[in-house]
Structures are given as structure tokens and as C-alpha cells.
Chains A and B, each alone.
Chain A
Amino acid sequence: MLIVKLAFRNILRNRRRSLLTLLSMGGGFFLLCLTLSMSEGSYSNIINIFTQDHTGHVQIHHSNYLERPSLYKTIDKLDSILAIVEENPQVIGVTPRIYGPSLAYGKNKTFPAQVIGIDTEREAQTTRLKSKVKQGQYITSNMTKDGYYEAMIGYSLANNLALTVGDELVLISQGIDGSIANDIFIVKAIVGDANSYEKMNVYLSLPAMQQFLAMGQGEQSQAHELAIILEYQQLALSFAKTLQQQLSSSELTVAPWQVVESSFYNSMQADKKGSYVSMGIIIFIVSIGVLNTILMGTLERTREFGVLKAIGTRPMSVFNLILLESFILAIFSCLFGLLLSLPVCYWLATSGIPMPEPIDMGGIVFDTMLGEISWYVVLLPSGVVIASTLLVSFIPAMRAAQISPLKALQAS
């Protein structure tokens, strides 16, 4: 096509200028791509950490348990609900939990503790709890030979109560039948450390918890929460929607991690919006440079455009020609930028930047900042660079299109 040939010819006519424009747009692309990669990577890392740590990707509760927890809002017929969830091939693991805030007795002190009943096998397959056992052994649902159930306690709680593995733990709570739940448990393990999520928790096996709180056992099994792990966290939103539809007849609410950890999610979104602003500034600066180049180019060629129009070229064609030149420059600069940024992003995603001081989040040491490679990280900067270039070329192109041949040829 003639116009394409013309555009290429014009670009290659002034190589130095074209190259400089290319470099500046490419540089802008590189910056954008890297910023996005680091931001996405860091957040993905954090999300993976807490979803695999204890939250899971999707959670199921009774009605509004998430906003207003209550001992009485239970998921009944646990086995059949578990079966429905496990039918979905996307589900890697699902585990039930029961929550009972209690008063814990140590050697001489008492302390409030969150007591969580877990299905020991399922929990080990769904979250990282088993790997966080620091002392002792992960609990089973059996009783000790003296007839006590086993318990795991968090690091800080163990310190506060001065208890270690093998000691007796006394718990008092309220049962679901109104009775005062009280029982003795044997500490089998200490989990986590001073900073982890588990630090003030007590973990009991599901049968132990159900007996403690007088909740349904066996076939009438009840729980407060089901935590589901999928292949990766991006699946959470759509999976939650489909599962909710599957369970629409019950009173259960299915929530993706974005809802479960809504405060984190909201602050993450706000932070991302903030970084969009800074990226916008980068693009703005780059675009000004591009505007300068194209404007100069157009002004230089005033005479040429005058001749073009004199021989009958439509104004629209002139306009399109200039826009096409910019577009081609933008495409090549994106390709150039990709060439620069992909290796760097790849390195960031695999090795990452080691942090001078490791941050401990939820008991998992977070010592490198990771990047991420995804379509989003590559396509968004491309789109932004191309769009901004075209936008910026608009005015020079308009001006060129409206040149009067008479004035143009007179001026020189």
C-alpha cells in the first residue's frame, strides 16, 4: 500500500530522529513494564502466602458469618457439602473449621484464645499448618491413653501460659447447647512463631472440638467454615461465582479471598491505583518528547505537504499518513521495549531482588521481591504507549491536514 510505503520512507528519512523517538518510547515501555511486573509480582506473592497459609482461595460460610460470626451459624450436613465441592475438578483441597473463642488456663495464668477445630488430614493437604509445627507432633483425632484429646497451641499463647509439649491445657467456652464447655487437653505441638497467624490459637481435631462445644458429630457433623484451595489464586473469583450458584438453595455464602480478606484487597487496589498515577506521569513525560519530535517533523515538511495537497491528496490521507508514521514508531518501540524488559522481568520473576531485611509475614519469610510475567504486564504498557503516541500525534496531523497549499509553498 502506497501510504504504508510512504510512512516507512518518511521514518527512515531522518534516521537519527526516528531512532531517538524509538528509544524514548521504548524506555517508557521498559519502565512501565518493570513497575507493573514488580507490583503484580509482590502482591501475587503476598496473596499466595496468606491463601496457602490459612485463608484458602475460597471460603464457604453460613449466610453472613463472615461479617457477624456466631457460634450458631453453622454449616450442617458437612459431608454432603464436602462432596459437592470436591466434584469440581478445579478444587485441590477443601477443609472444614470450627471456631470457638475460649478462655485457656496455663500453669498459673489464664488467657483468651481462639480455639479452632480442624480436620487434621484435610487441613494438612489444604494449608501449610502441618509444616508450621515447631515443637512436638502434629495432632491426630485420637485420644491419648488417659482419655484426653490432643491440642496444638500457638507460640505466643504457649509463652503466656507457660505451657510446653506434654502439659495439660484447660479450656472453658460456651457450648452450642448453652452449656458451659470445659475440658482438659494435652498439648501435642507448638505451632508458628511470635509473628505468625497462629500465635494465639489453639487447634483441636474436629471430633474433639465437636464434643467440646456439644456440636453435631459424625453424620450430623457441623462446622463454621470450609476453606478451599484451587490451582492458582486468579481462579478464585469465577470459581466462587459458580459454586455459589451450585449451592444457591442452601443458606451458604461462597466468598473468594478478595471478599474474605477485603481490607487487604481494598488497600491493594488503592495502592495499585496510586501506582497507575505515577505510571501516567512517566507516560506523560515520554509523550511530550514524542509530541516534540512529530511536531517538528511536520513543520519541517510543510512544503512537502503543500505539494501533496496541491496535487490532489485528500486532507484525510495526509492525516492518516502522519498517524501511521507514529503508529509504526510506537509498534517498533514496543518491540524494542519488550526485548529489553522480558529478560529483566524473567530474572525478577525467578530470582527476584533480595531484600536487605527479610520481612516476616504470617510466619513465612519474605526475603526476595519477585516480579511477574503475564499478558497483563506486557499488553498494558504496549496499549498505553501506542494509545498515547497516537493521541499526541493527533494535533500535528490535524495541522498538517489543514495546510493550505498556497501558504505552504509561499512560506519557503
Chain B
Amino acid sequence: MSLTLRSSLLFILLMPFSLCVQADENGVALLKKIDELFRSNTSVATMKMTITTPNWQRTLEMQSWTQGMEDTFIRVLSPRKDRGVATLKKDKEMWNFFPKINKVIKVPPSMMMGSWMGSDFTNDDLVREVSLVEEYHVTKTELDDTYQLTLLPKKSTVTVWGKITIVVNKADLLPLEQNYFNEKGEKIRAMTFSQIRDFSGKKMPAIMTMVPLNKSGHKTVIEYVDAKFDSKLKDNIFTLRNLKTRF
């Protein structure tokens, strides 16, 4: 989730800054920029997540608030029977709330690699702090229209990914593709970014599609309906109290 929801939301804030920056030869610098794009302030967004599996298909509508990289609050708006289900992430801890049974469940470390809300994104994706520059070594190759960044984890990094590659569009320095590989070098997940749209004056990809390659017939598509950036957020949003609020 680090480069996905978070990144796209945070993209918006930093887009204007990034457009001023010149792309340089050093991959680290580019990655740093992408990283820094996500060093953000706040965002409030509405999005739709469509999950497809061989047995069922579901579309969730959600509202999300983020602050920096530590705090995320997501609330489900539809379908009706899931309305009010919420997720709070503060630092490295994560909780889910189910209004029908009025219970807050803390997500234990053992469930971190489990799927979030039944999608192909994991709880870990949401929680993991995004600092790719700090956690990965990066090399950059240049192609005709794109830069390709190859990220390998540093010795001290704890992660299940043996390698991550990011394909960045030269023109707007927005990512086109992000691929996740395991330690054996097998591609496990592929994420594509599409539909660059304008959100409150910032350009960013509105649609992210995550396809797990080790399961056939599964796909999760997140579409940003609208997003607002850098507005002042109330202090009490990222609290357990807010999580349990009747909505």
C-alpha cells in the first residue's frame, strides 16, 4: 500500500513541485523525488475499489483521510451492509471497526500479509512506511519514453519483496507500472497506473490496478473519484474514538 493509495494521494500535493524539477541521471535522485512526492501534508479523497475474484465481484466506495505518512483513516460508504466499516492506521499499528457488532479489532502482525477488505492489497501495504530511498538500493535505466527504476532491498530492510521495479513516464515523471518480485525473482504482483486526471489542480493517475500473478482471476482496481490536498484536518480524525463513531 505504500506506493499505492498513499503515493497517489500524496502525489497530488507534490505534483507542482515535481514538475519544476529536472530529471537527472541518478536513479537515487529520481527515486528520492518519487519518495519525496509522498512526503506530504494531508489529503481527503473519495474512491471506488472494485475487487474481482473467480467466485465474486464487489465494489466498495470509500472515503479516506491521510496525514503525513503515519496516519490513515478510511471509511466504507457503500454497499449498504458494509457502510461504516472503517480502518485506522497510526504509525505501524492498524485497527478495523465493524459498526454492526460495534467491535474494534486490532490487526496483529500475523495478519499483516492478509488481504485488506478482501482486496489484493495487503494490510501491510497500508501500514508500511514509504521510504523507498531509505529501504532500497536503486538503479535507473533510461529507455525511449520511460525511466526504469530497479529497487533492491538494503541489508537492514525487512520486507517480503526481493525486488521492485518502477516504470516512470519521462514526460510527467508519473509512474506507469510497478512490479513486485519475491526473493526468487518471480514476479508476484503487477500494478499499473492509468487515466491521468486533474485533482484539485494536480495531475495524477486516477486508476490503479493491482493484479496478483500467483492467483488467476483476481484483480483489484482503485479509482479516485475526487481528492483534496493540504487542507487542515482536525486533530481527532486519527483516533480510535473517531473509528468507533456512529456514522
Flag if B118 contacts A182 (CB, 8 Å): no
CB neighbours (8 Å) of B118 from chain A are: 174, 178-180
A178-B51, A178-B118 given; A170·B101 CB < 8 A = yes
The answer, yes or no, to whether A184 is at the interface (CB within 8 Å) is yes
B215 adjacent to chain A (CB < 8 Å)? no
Q: Does A105 sit within 8 A of B, measured CB to CB? A: yes
Please state if B100 and A183 are interface contacts (CB–CB under 8 Å).
yes
Cα of A39 to Cα of B58 in the assembled complex, Å: 56
B98 contacts across to A, CB distance below 8 A: 172, 180, 182
Which of B58, B81, B85, B100 meets A178, CB within 8 Å? B58
Report the contact-size class of chain A (Cβ under 8 Å from the partner): 10 to 19
Q: Kindly provide the distance from the CB of A54 to the nearest chain B CB, expressed in whole angstroms.
A: 28
B101 engages A177 (CB within 8 Å): no
Q: How far is the CB of A106 from chain B (nearest CB, A)?
A: 12
CA distance A172 to B97 in the complex (A): 12
B103 to A105, Cβ gap below 8 A? yes
B191 at the interface (CB under 8 A from A): no
Interface residues in A180-195 (C-beta closer than 8 Å to B): 180, 182-184
Q: A72 near B: Cβ within 8 Å?
A: yes
Chain B: minimal CB distance from A221 (Å): 18
Known contacts A176-B55, A179-B58; decide if A184 and B100 are in contact (CB<8 Å): yes
B53 CB within 8 Å of chain A: yes
B117 touches A180 (CB 8 A): yes
Please indicate the chain B residues that have their CB under 8 angstroms from the CB of A182 in the complex.
Answer: 98, 100-101, 103
Which residues on the A side are within 8 Å of B56 (C-beta)? 176-178
A183 to B100: give the CA distance in the assembly, Å.
Answer: 6
- Complex CA distance for A214 and B98, rounded to whole angstroms: 16
Contact with A along B57-97 (1 / 0, CB 8 A): 11000000000000000000001011001000000000000
Q: Mark A44-79, 1 if CB is under 8 A from B, else 0.
A: 000000000000000000000000000010000000
Least CB distance, B91 to chain A, in whole angstroms: 24
Q: How far is the CB of B218 from chain A (nearest CB, A)?
A: 11
Give complex CA distance A214, B79 in Å. Answer: 12
Q: Is the CB of A180 within 8 A of B101?
A: no
Please give the residue numbers on chain A whose beta carbons come within 8 Å of chain B beta carbons, in ascending order.
72, 105, 170, 172, 174, 176-180, 182-184, 214
- Beyond contacts A105-B101, A178-B118, A180-B85: 5 other A-B pairs, Cβ-Cβ < 8 A, are A105-B103, A172-B103, A172-B105, A178-B53, A179-B79
Instruction: Offer 12 A-B interface pairs, CB within 8 angstroms, sorted by A.
Output: A105-B103, A172-B101, A172-B105, A176-B55, A177-B58, A178-B51, A178-B58, A178-B118, A179-B58, A180-B117, A183-B100, A183-B101
